[in-house]
Amino acid sequence: MPPYPGRDSGPRSEPRFKNDYTSGQAQFECDMTVKSSAHRVCVMQVFGAATQATAFMALAMNNNSLTYYDKTDQVIYRPIYDTTLRLNVVHDTTAGSVHVYVNREFQATFKDHGAGTHYFKCGLYGREGMSARSDCYLRNIHIYRK
């Protein structure tokens, strides 16, 4: 039986930060270690958008990469397993874009799927086909606003 009957959205262990914003720029920063057991699992989200629930998602995929959603042809960074990465995600609501940096180097820019009340989430959020065990360790989490 799910822990919250009628409201179960699958396995997850993710903090939701109370940094709600609708304008300007916001940045998420952390040191992240994804263990090699993590496959098809979301490790970071910018929540809120006009056309879908999220403006951005980063997934750990079984090809040792961090991808934009589950799009294996849109690799943000590799290799990711069993090493600590500095992840920075900058959301510019005016430009409607999300800029991603790994280890302080620019990796990619993505459209944000429209206006909404946005906030950050990180940790593990289960997706269809995810591995039976997923581990991701986060530390030095910082959130900035401009």
Model confidence over 9-46: pLDDT tens digits? 555 566 677 889 999 999 999 999 999 988 888 899 99
Contact 99, 89 (CB under 8 A): yes
5: Cβ–Cβ under 8 A, 6 or more apart, which residues?
none
95: Cβ–Cβ under 8 A, 6 or more apart, which residues?
none
Entry pTM: 0.88
Does position 1 have pLDDT exceeding 50, yes or no?
Answer: no
Contact 76, 119 (CB under 8 A): no
